[in-house]
Structure 1
Amino acid sequence: MYKLKKHIVAFLIFSLFLLFLPYQSEAATAYQGVALDNPTSVYSQASTNSKVLKGYSAGSILKYHSYSTNWYKATVYVSGRATTGYIPKGAVDTIDSTPETLSGVAKPSPTRIYSKPATGAPVLKQYAANTVLKYESFTSNWYKATIYKSGKAVTGYIYAADVETADRNPASFKGVALQSPTRVYTQTSTGSTALKSYNKDTVLSYESFVPGWYRAKVYVSGKARYGYINAADVVNGDPTPNSYKGVALKSPTKIYSQTNTLSSELKTYDQGRILSYQSFVPGWYQAKVYVSGKARYGYISSADVENASTSSSSLQVRALVDKIQVHTYASTNAPSIKSYSKDTILKVYNFTSSWYKVTVYVNGNPVTGYVYKKETSTNLTPDSYLNLDLRKKANISAADIVNFFDANRPNSHLKDYAQDFIDAQTKYGVNATYLVAHAIWETGWGTSALSNYKHNLYGYGAYDVCPFTCAYYFPTAGDSINSVAYMVKTNYLNSNGAYYYQEHGSTLIGMNVRYATDQNWKNGIANLMERIRTYDDNYYASASVLPLNSDRPSTFGRDIPKGMAYPNNTILKFPDGITGKITEGVSFRSLPYTSAATYIKSLSQSTTVEVLGYNTDVRLNDKYPYDYRWYRISVDGQEGWVYGGSLSIQDLLQVVNITTTLNIRLEPKTGDVIGSVPANGFLKPVLKDGKPEIVDSWYRVYLPNSTTKTGFVSGEYIKVVNN
């Protein structure tokens, strides 16, 4: 029994010994590597706590075999006897078993070649920074190089951080020289010798090398040499060029040998010819041409061609000229394939800014041709003022405008502004016939209160809820014409305008979409334009679009300045000194219109304000905020508007139940008449103990436009106004 226990214990100990032995692969792999530590120790066991058999200096080349996850096994000689030892994996850098041949650039100056892969080893040779070197991969931190000393090849080592290795798989480029001259250097340094020089804009071929430098093959005295181009000295051609078709714009359009209009021409084309080319560098395309039967690459200035549209969608256009031609290429000088009569509808495709592409049939065969856009219209109905581009100059003069009014409304003051309409056309690029017609439409031939009191010919600034009050005041009618011409041009007629409608463009139809809710607006304006001057299709077909030639005109306010005439049936003024109180917090506004732009400030409850009156054009209905009248008030000397539902007016009387005038008498009932007030007019009562003074049902009041003289009016015709 005792012997059995002894055997079991021995077995367990042996098993534990095997368990803690390092794992070993079945077939050990042989390696060579570089000692990293100084010294790099070889241990008697796979443990750094074991005895050191031998030590090697950093940079020594060692041979060893795979052993375990963290250790290599090596044979060393101790006292002449081969002994197995162990090296920690972190103490050596294994040499590349399949070295790769490389090129690179020296970084520090000098860049040293060491006798061993250690920076403390003797230096065999050294090179200046930016020298191009050849070497091969060795370890993760070192390259191996062959150098020559005294005519003999010697192996040395380069610290990996001391060189910038060139692209292992260099990308090929074609690019353009930017400098004059652009040099190809012997080394990657602008201070090195130039192998060759090229003129600015020369097209060069080269490949990627190191950051900031390309490598190029050049020929010197008939022999191929590699040199180096500074990346800042060239611009690369498009690595994935896009292919284009386009139209030659110049006569002739040239294909150059280099990206320079002074270089030799490979070939020329007539204006309008259809060309194929591809993207190259900014400002230039690359094209394949044939010279004497041989394919050559040449270069087209991007300013000399216009790229064709890539859209495949078709559209219909209407011929504007009597005999529209379909040309063989995009030039009015090109031969005609076919022609069509005026107003013929053609199916076309967008090609360039000036040309459509079209397919026509000649002898039953489809043929591609080109139609000049200026000879067509996308409006398929015959042209009229409805679809006129309102940026085109009108074919009328100031005298024509005066003659039109003399023949139709000789008393209209609008004819006095004939030259202003013409001047606005010149300054702001808006058709003068339209400006006249629009003014007639908005003012009723110049009879509106807006035109007479605010010199506003277009209702500019008016809102539906306050058409007179909110419209702008202009010092002169000319100011009104200028302001509206500028606004219409920049907002409705220019393609980047806030209210431009792309489908119908710069026309009355396009304007009507966002300018007026009344869809008959465009027809009314067009009919007036036709009356002023019959539409001339041929004139407008060739008329050019007018530019914006003047800055934004001066801006003005909306109120009629004090002392100027005003319509007293629209602007009702209360007697001086009428006050009111704010009954709840409310916004004080510049206009009787609720928007962020009209807000001045907030008025708190119980604020006392001076109430100036109200305007009859401001909407009054059962819907907020127009379920109460809006009042003009003054707060701390600033005039504005307040919603009447938040205002209680104090001590204001209004004449009612009468259609003519109400007499003001010196005494109640039978006193002498000392004044009068019109029907619906307002009076300020004389207060007694804080209330209106009443004698025998007669109110004592201040005479109009007086703060001292008083009289009496019958209470039968008086209403106390609160709001």
Structure 2
Amino acid sequence: GEKVTVYSISGDWAKVKAGSKTGYVHASFLTNSNPDSSADTSTPAKTTTKYVNVDKGSHLILRSKASETSSILDSLPRGEKVTVYSISGDWAKVKAGSKTGYVHASFLANSNPDSHAGTSTPVQTTTKYVNVDKGSHLVLRSKASRSGKILTSLQRGEKVTVYTASGPWVKVKARGITGYVLASYLSDADPDASTADDGNNSSEPTPDATVTKYTTADLNLRKGPSTLTSVIEVLDKGTAVKVYSEEDGWAKVEISGKIGYVSTNYLTSAAQQSNGKVTSIVKKYDLSLDELANIQMRVSPQTDTNNRYIRSDAIKLTSHTTGVVQNGSWHIRDGAGTKNHEVGETLKEGTKVTILSTVKGDDGYTWYQISYNKAWKNATKNEVKYYLNPNNFVSDPVRSLQFLKLTSTANLNATEVNQKILAGKGILAGKASAFLTAAKQNGINEIYLIAHALLETGNGTSQLANGVKYNGKTVYNMYGTGANDGNAVQNGARYAYQHGWTTPEAAIIGGAKFISSNYLGAGQDTLYKMRWNPDVAATYGYASHQYATDIGWAYKQVDEIYNLYNLLDNYNITLEVPSYQ
């Protein structure tokens, strides 16, 4: 009944002031009115009657508090009638017999689950489809709880038979297996049914099995899918994250190389409205996308994607999720079925693999999507064409930044950069003027330059960034220039000494010259051109001076750039988008 002032709610937590103290409490235990405000009046507390709905032979634990760490009061059998006083979050306050306590609300139903037992009334079922993001899977569990054993992993668009619903969970049958899934990831229609004839090449893979989403509030990035796990960092509202999977209210995401978990309640597929000015220009090339892909295939492009499939009879299972190759060597393909491309490598008998999913192939056979002990693999032409094709990214506010002209000014305000980007960034805090000067003198986009420095200095905390003694002088290095060959600190300090970088500002301005002289000075002034160098390919017919062999390199670099732009109110973006015949 204590009154608190709520400042904000993020995920399961609320920032509140209670008396003179400010801190955090579980939001599910706050209400808009005093729960005891009707005490001692003639108005009775409103209650409802529900029934325990767990699997036959199972029991529902009645606890003293709304927490799985609290003491157990009783064990309630399937079908037992309880009086429900209130439901808050995942928990319901109930009375069972003479005992009052808390149970998981998802295991309560409005009617006795066994009330029709022994009658001729058939069980009513409906057909639904798995509706998760492309590249994600829906886990089928042995019981309606995250603690339930994983029975299998269902693919997007897979048809399931739905028997009963209880809270957020539904009982379904899929692939002959009966279990429970989260109802929010089922739909009445196949999510991909309307895209079969849209003219796109449906056999092309999606990049790294991820989608981009945006935070709708300041949000904790946690080490695990639970509020009990530690916070890695707090993500600003509007931050773009790569989403690998979503399950039980949690999303596994990646941001700036960090992987963690956030609440799905605070993610959206739509980017927030931009205050900046975006200008796009088109650069035409005298070659086709297919010709450019053929040129790239000659230099062994690499990928770390898990879009790798092998026919099920090639694998002898050692568990539900692992196996070994049997009966000789087998080809791997970039899709399920013999119509898909071979990736140019085979797995020999005895090779251990991890099975990510089971799918029906276009040839009628069962195929396994696998991950095996080889981090980098030869990319297929289909995969290369996906990343080469600008049309796959130009409408995405994040991925389109691989076409950002790194030689174009963002026209930033130094005060805003200091307040919104560099605040709290160690030695880089307050250095906006130096970055803007460095960008102007060397013809580099300011956001790209700042993102580069934040990455290399660990947000302004690295040893080189904070000054290293060399030949009696303290020198600074903000971009890791020359910091190689085993002894990064000493070599980076020597380079800084040789170039007179004796102040942080000198290191920011001087280091920018090195950055501009290599790729940007050679005309490769977008991340896309740094990776693919289409100018050389179109002129000479071969691949040359490419920054990376990873086909997804440019795609992966843009999150930090987008998120820095997203912090600002005013800026300019110029995109140079390639166009092929």
When normalised by structure 1's length, the TM-score is 0.20
From the CA coordinates, give the structure whose radius of gyration is larger: 1
When normalised by structure 2's length, the TM-score is 0.25
Q: Which has the higher strand share?
A: 1
Larger RCO (CA under 8 A, 6+ residues apart) = 2
